[in-house]
Chain A
């Protein structure tokens, strides 16, 4: 390792050998061909060098150029760059708009390149796309932004970020999140801590060629976030102010449930069947007669005030025709509702002089969810400075801080206090507040206040002793998260084309959680309790890079990079948990007497790598590129700690060939291909070590057997082949068609052990799989006139996921992993029908399939000698098998439209998914008959009497066979989501100049406005594996208005 550093040093010292030549001065003005207005901020540099400047507010520049310089290059975002020969001291330029985006400059791994020279696969989201949305977490902007990038919907909890997957799922481990790189260093904080307004661009790197330099961390793709900078050049100052605000509500409807009248009838039937089948009554007629009269004894609440308890359901099984609902507050969704809103203000100052540029921002976001005790508040600031100290030395720093304060009373994990679970499961006969059953009037406390009903007084059969609304209101659950970070770099220009850069970064995240549980209702009763946890995560990243770029003979372009990087992430956690409060109203541990938990620990994860990249292109037509990185990780045993990762890529810009010059309708045509290997070490910090953890026995010291370790545990490897055709045609249509084959091997997994081993799992490299697919991206101006432009983009991506090798197939939840199947192929019981004779669910039995040696290799549906299906009514005999459904969709993508007329722009983004299936456990829960739990309206189709032919079995309590998990609960996960719609108006510049402003726009924008799905209430984007959660905070939609001002 020392050797490498010495070589690096020698290379750097070569810089000492050259001298600079004489210079002369050139100046001029740059204007736009569109409106003949000067363009500030255009970068002007001497071709083939880094000597350059930018234009000032009047579009003017002055530059000292070497005497041997021949050409100047003018480039600006959104404009085609222009090369002009240096013919004299004044060079003026007129730039044409780059409607096809061919000349975009991308931030890529350890550098920036022009899109045309890319040999890998990358997508960019620019600041314009981000600024036009109103979001609390920038991760939401990734939804539908690039083919092959899919996200979950995210929770409706303000400030939550969706999960992101790039090109399928290439790992078995729980986290397949891409690597986030923020301004050059790995970022492990929350995406929602970053102010979207600070972002200049987001680059999504998808293939090995573009990610290989991140080596061990790149297996799930890389997202590079680059923040805004000021511009060097002439005197330049810009102030931006954006204000927005609006309303938030739930995006998806709630699952429907039957009303109180139907509910009583259905429960009476369930009670009757339960008595009949448990033998309490000899005939169903007796059972019904009893159940109709006594159903109140099961449900314990009679909302039909005035109707006697034994006459709620008549002898015909129908609700008493005189029954009228006399209880208030039966809607638990409504009880948890508040008016959600968001307000958001952003101010930024950016500017520069000839040697310095800076950017400063201040942002404030205040969001309140549509459910009580959910909110999010964020204060952001950022300061970027870039300073040219000498012509050979450039230093920059980038400092940020964010303060987040959030209430998470509705967090997905809380059980009884979760308002969504509570509202989904509670039958519409139970009031939120205590009422007198005889009158329906509130039972007031001594102070004349309504009292929350904890179910104790009338013995409510569900959630007794609890009341989610009371617990939300009386408890407090909130966290504070402070992020601070610093990026600093120094670049030394050593000789023409050779430079060395040192980057250092530190990110610190401090997190503090406070949870208070009240002494009246819930787990905090009777003494109240207080839970406080804190952690600090410190990530430190160093790298040293040497870059070399040179053009020989005008056609041979070479660039090389070598470097070294080290990364360390330390996480220190502390938690205190006490009960028995002293006085009310003080939410500090000091105010509690008994300590239940007081614990702390630290984890430390480190990686180190050596990297190199070589690029060559001939005449901007033929490009080849190779990358290599050697990485070591502290997550593996020293014998297997180091891994080698690499990529090769090439592209051919056909359109640059001489023979294409005459084909003027082809603006760009490029073929590219790449192959490479990247790694993944995401399996905790100490998985390879066999450990005992501290575990005292009362006051005696003790240790607990914790892990068996695995010294052979090593890198998960991802090998990706990628080939693409990129094109731009007719000066108005561009797009790409891309095919990838992403093979993952040595997959890391916490392998479930038979629990008879005494431990539940062991980290292993267990399997191989591939993700393969086609990505299509089309973007074009359907109409483009002087005043009206209609731009449309279509994205679509397929992904086929298949396990290619796994030593022992195994079952994980509702999926089974075995060769030839995807990781999300459902493995379930097979529903057959409902027996018309007794209303029991019949499952088609799966029988074992064995190989020659008698080993069970799978299952198939069993048939008897007559060819009839073998059926069972016992869930334990039904077995499991592949039911031919997968949570992976066939096609996913987005449709974007943007219409602009004069200053008006209307844009809309739709996302869609086709061909996947999901298992709806919430629906399943609403079919199961339990006293007090709500029913889905489908339950009305239940079997009742012999001879009934229906898909829904008889209603009966505590019979787990009837609605045992099976393919009956599978449903299409297809959706079409109106993701965002924005209408904005730019006030004409001529008006603004009179007001002293540069730009002013007003807008109204809606996010997540509607989703078309196969079943009302379900959320196909809850996760990637196709299941639902009864705890999920239904995603939110927002309608926001705002203005954006620049002067």
Chain B
């Protein structure tokens, strides 16, 4: 009997010792394997660079938080579809249809509108974390580099926001017009701020750009083209000053920004705008295969040979009226195909009527254009379709690099800003530098005054077609939207066929997303 109870005792004690295993103090202290604590990230220059690399990635990566919108790859089309130059040929599978019909950006509960706002504020919050933690860190070339980039990002993001949501600076009353909240920190109680005025937002943007440029003066060089350097900061400053009508600054910053970058030549211009190893690119994102954005790619919405249903079902074409203004000697004209067949119509009907002698001739034309566009037999084609943006290796879904800034834009800003100051000769010369590269027949402009400005603005539309500028240019120049004669289908475009100019038509402003209105008691919606 005694022996038995010894066994019991032994077993029980043994079990209790086993149980002590779970009583270790750190049993309940667990950490994730795919993330690290914010404190560690913001405690050293090296780690801050990692956090900044995350911001660079957010310019093109699927965010995964509000669906899978992929950064500027969705913002660039928003700057085109709904404006006058890059047009949809068919209802397609629906992407951006509501934007060309002018209901998308007015729908506060639309997911893409939710995302657009978040996209820029996420970048602002991310760089604010770094800016606000940098006080505790020893200054160095690398930290100057990081801070220069962070302040530039903050300015750049606020600039996009105030353009989308606030009344354009030059046509409104910026001192009283509502812009967007200026965010310089994300901290408890996370309540949400009220909208600052358009003037206040631009003041902050300019101040941040000045700070950034000061930091860049002492900064280490950038790692690659996805990073921002002083040229990019100046380029953004040029955009900002052009938008607020400070022509002198716009011209100076644009001039300084483009130094060291050579313009693309014809073959580079015709290579699809898909690779950052191009001498003109000032700022871009490299896409690699395992960071692909699939069907959220900019080339899915905008190119004509990405192999996705949006592209196959809805080829994008150029405003016919704009095309007519491109001189025959201009190689940019080669990127638009006015004689492409319409695969939406029978060989002798619709847009094909009167163009082909026989169905066989039509089929020959289709075959020919398939090789020009480098698309698949499942892709539709329409007259005036473009081949400016294209997949480098034919009808694939491969990720293509994303462009954020290139030198030609700087020439155009400089020329316009000079012309608007009445410095016609200088403006003509800058314009000549750019356009003579594009158009063998171009001679130095003899236009002056408004005619010169108009010439520069036309060059801007031709040069920057489908690169995400048109909507903002229409805003700042107070242009009306009239699609008559452009080739746009009124049955598809509906309300997008005509809109009065921005100064008299509040519908040009995007709606603040309902998500923000719901969570931020200080937020107010735009009034339409």
Q: Interface residues, chain A, CB within 8 Å of chain B?
A: 1-2, 5, 8-9, 12-13, 15-16, 19, 271, 274-275, 278-280, 297-298, 390, 392-393, 454-456, 459, 461, 463-466, 490, 492, 494, 500, 502, 523, 525-527, 542, 544, 564, 566, 579, 594-598, 601-608, 632-634, 638, 641, 685-686, 689-706, 708-709, 752-760, 762, 808, 810-812, 855-856, 874, 876, 931, 957-960
CB of A464 within 8 A of CB of B312, answer yes
A-B contact pairs, 6 of them (CB 8 A): A9-B16, A465-B312, A526-B395, A692-B36, A755-B519, A756-B516
Q: Which of B367-397 contact A (CB under 8 A)?
A: 376, 378, 380, 395-397
Nearest B-chain residue to A808, judged by Cβ: B521
For B523, list chain A residues within 8 Å (CB).
Answer: 754, 756
For A459, list chain B residues within 8 Å (CB).
Answer: 90, 313, 344, 380
Nearest A-chain residue to B525, judged by Cβ: A876
Q: Please report the C-alpha to C-alpha distance between residue A681 and residue B396 in the assembled complex, in whole angstroms.
A: 47
For A280, list chain B residues within 8 Å (CB).
Answer: 490-491, 497
CB of B294 within 8 A of CB of A523, answer yes
CB of B495 within 8 A of CB of A752, answer no
For A466, list chain B residues within 8 Å (CB).
Answer: 93, 309
For A274, list chain B residues within 8 Å (CB).
Answer: 491, 494
- Report which of B57, B97, B498 forms a contact with A279, defined as CB distance below 8 A: B498
For A708, list chain B residues within 8 Å (CB).
Answer: 38, 186, 190
CB of A392 within 8 A of CB of B8, answer yes
- Report which of A8, A490, A756 forms a contact with B520, defined as CB distance below 8 A: A756
Contact string, B79-113, partner A, CB cutoff 8 A, digits 1/0? 00000000000111100011001010011100000
* Known interface pairs A455-B313, A685-B30; A760-B289 also in contact (CB < 8 Å): no
Nearest B-chain residue to A932, judged by Cβ: B91
Q: Please report the C-alpha to C-alpha distance between residue A605 and residue B32 in the assembled complex, in whole angstroms.
A: 10
* Known interface pairs A525-B307, A703-B51, A752-B518; A691-B491 also in contact (CB < 8 Å): no
CB of A756 within 8 A of CB of B287, answer no
For B223, list chain A residues within 8 Å (CB).
Answer: 700
CB of A2 within 8 A of CB of B23, answer yes
CB of B516 within 8 A of CB of A704, answer no
A925 to chain B, nearest CB (A): 13
Q: Please report the C-alpha to C-alpha distance between residue A641 and residue B31 in the assembled complex, in whole angstroms.
A: 15
Nearest B-chain residue to A565, judged by Cβ: B22
Interface contacts beyond A461-B91, A755-B118: sample of 10 additional A-B pairs, CB < 8 Å, sorted by A: A2-B20, A694-B34, A698-B286, A700-B223, A702-B51, A704-B126, A705-B38, A705-B51, A755-B121, A758-B124
CB of B39 within 8 A of CB of A9, answer no
B128 contacts partner chain A, Cβ-Cβ < 8 Å: yes
For B33, list chain A residues within 8 Å (CB).
Answer: 601-603
CB of B313 within 8 A of CB of A527, answer no
- Report which of A16, A607, A686 forms a contact with B5, defined as CB distance below 8 A: A16
Q: Which of B102-155 contact A (CB under 8 A)?
A: 103, 106-108, 114, 117-118, 121-126, 128-129
B374 to chain A, nearest CB (A): 13
B224 contacts partner chain A, Cβ-Cβ < 8 Å: yes
B394 to chain A, nearest CB (A): 10
- Report which of A1, A297, A701, A874 forms a contact with B528, defined as CB distance below 8 A: A874
For A463, list chain B residues within 8 Å (CB).
Answer: 93
For B327, list chain A residues within 8 Å (CB).
Answer: none
For B355, list chain A residues within 8 Å (CB).
Answer: none
Q: Which of B1-50 contact A (CB under 8 A)?
A: 1, 4-5, 8-9, 11-13, 15-16, 18-20, 22-23, 27-39, 41, 47, 50
Chain B contact residues (Cβ within 8 angstroms of A): what range?
Answer: 35 or more
Looking at B58-66, B238-246, B266-274, B450-458, the stretch in contact with chain A turns out to be: B58-66
CB of A608 within 8 A of CB of B22, answer yes
A173 to chain B, nearest CB (A): 17
Q: Please report the C-alpha to C-alpha distance between residue A696 and residue B57 in the assembled complex, in whole angstroms.
A: 7
B265 contacts partner chain A, Cβ-Cβ < 8 Å: no
CB of A464 within 8 A of CB of B93, answer yes
Nearest B-chain residue to A632, judged by Cβ: B28
For B294, list chain A residues within 8 Å (CB).
Answer: 523, 596
Nearest B-chain residue to A456, judged by Cβ: B378
A922 to chain B, nearest CB (A): 18
A131 to chain B, nearest CB (A): 37
B515 contacts partner chain A, Cβ-Cβ < 8 Å: yes
Q: Interface residues, chain B, CB within 8 Å of chain A?
A: 1, 4-5, 8-9, 11-13, 15-16, 18-20, 22-23, 27-39, 41, 47, 50-54, 56-58, 61, 65-66, 90-93, 97-98, 101, 103, 106-108, 114, 117-118, 121-126, 128-129, 180-181, 183, 186, 190-193, 223-224, 226, 285-292, 294-295, 307-309, 312-313, 344, 376, 378, 380, 395-398, 490-491, 493-495, 497-498, 511, 513-516, 518-521, 523, 525, 528
Q: Please report the C-alpha to C-alpha distance between residue A762 and residue B186 in the assembled complex, in whole angstroms.
A: 12
CB of A760 within 8 A of CB of B190, answer no
- Report which of B5, B106, B226 forms a contact with A698, defined as CB distance below 8 A: B226
* Known interface pairs A464-B92, A527-B397, A691-B35; A958-B28 also in contact (CB < 8 Å): no
CB of B66 within 8 A of CB of A760, answer yes
CB of A692 within 8 A of CB of B30, answer no
CB of B224 within 8 A of CB of A692, answer no
Nearest B-chain residue to A755, judged by Cβ: B118
CB of B190 within 8 A of CB of A762, answer yes
For B19, list chain A residues within 8 Å (CB).
Answer: 5, 542, 544, 564, 566
- Report which of B12, B397, B516 forms a contact with A13, defined as CB distance below 8 A: B12
- Report which of B32, B497, B513, B519 forms a contact with A810, defined as CB distance below 8 A: B519
For B97, list chain A residues within 8 Å (CB).
Answer: 958
CB of B313 within 8 A of CB of A464, answer yes
CB of A634 within 8 A of CB of B16, answer no
CB of A752 within 8 A of CB of B519, answer yes
* Known interface pairs A595-B290, A758-B124, A808-B521; A542-B28 also in contact (CB < 8 Å): no
Q: Please report the C-alpha to C-alpha distance between residue A697 and residue B51 in the assembled complex, in whole angstroms.
A: 10
* Known interface pairs A500-B12, A756-B192; A685-B32 also in contact (CB < 8 Å): yes
For B32, list chain A residues within 8 Å (CB).
Answer: 601, 603, 685-686, 689, 691
A780 to chain B, nearest CB (A): 48
Q: Please report the C-alpha to C-alpha distance between residue A543 and residue B466 in the assembled complex, in whole angstroms.
A: 66
B157 to chain A, nearest CB (A): 10
For B29, list chain A residues within 8 Å (CB).
Answer: 634, 638
For B312, list chain A residues within 8 Å (CB).
Answer: 456, 464-465
Q: Please report the C-alpha to C-alpha distance between residue A762 and residue B32 in the assembled complex, in whole angstroms.
A: 17
CB of B98 within 8 A of CB of A758, answer no
CB of B313 within 8 A of CB of A689, answer no
* Known interface pairs A464-B309, A702-B56, A758-B122; A958-B491 also in contact (CB < 8 Å): no
* Known interface pairs A542-B18, A596-B289, A810-B519; A754-B34 also in contact (CB < 8 Å): no
For A490, list chain B residues within 8 Å (CB).
Answer: 11, 15
For B378, list chain A residues within 8 Å (CB).
Answer: 454, 456, 465, 525
CB of A690 within 8 A of CB of B37, answer yes
Q: Please report the C-alpha to C-alpha distance between residue A542 and residue B520 in the assembled complex, in whole angstroms.
A: 46
CB of B117 within 8 A of CB of A756, answer yes
Q: Please report the C-alpha to C-alpha distance between residue A527 and residue B294 in the assembled complex, in whole angstroms.
A: 12
For A692, list chain B residues within 8 Å (CB).
Answer: 35-38, 41, 50-51, 54
Q: Please report the C-alpha to C-alpha distance between residue A101 and residue B286 in the assembled complex, in whole angstroms.
A: 72
> Among A274, A693, A695, which residue has the most Cβ atoms of chain B within 10 A?
A695
For A607, list chain B residues within 8 Å (CB).
Answer: 28
* Known interface pairs A690-B37, A692-B35, A758-B122; A697-B57 also in contact (CB < 8 Å): yes
A631 to chain B, nearest CB (A): 10
A388 to chain B, nearest CB (A): 14
For A958, list chain B residues within 8 Å (CB).
Answer: 97-98, 101, 103, 494-495
Q: Please report the C-alpha to C-alpha distance between residue A756 and residue B285 in the assembled complex, in whole angstroms.
A: 25
* Known interface pairs A456-B313, A608-B22; A753-B28 also in contact (CB < 8 Å): no
CB of B35 within 8 A of CB of A278, answer no
CB of A706 within 8 A of CB of B118, answer no
For B37, list chain A residues within 8 Å (CB).
Answer: 689-692
Nearest B-chain residue to A692, judged by Cβ: B41
Nearest B-chain residue to A686, judged by Cβ: B32
Q: Please report the C-alpha to C-alpha distance between residue A808 and residue B190 in the assembled complex, in whole angstroms.
A: 12
CB of B30 within 8 A of CB of A604, answer yes
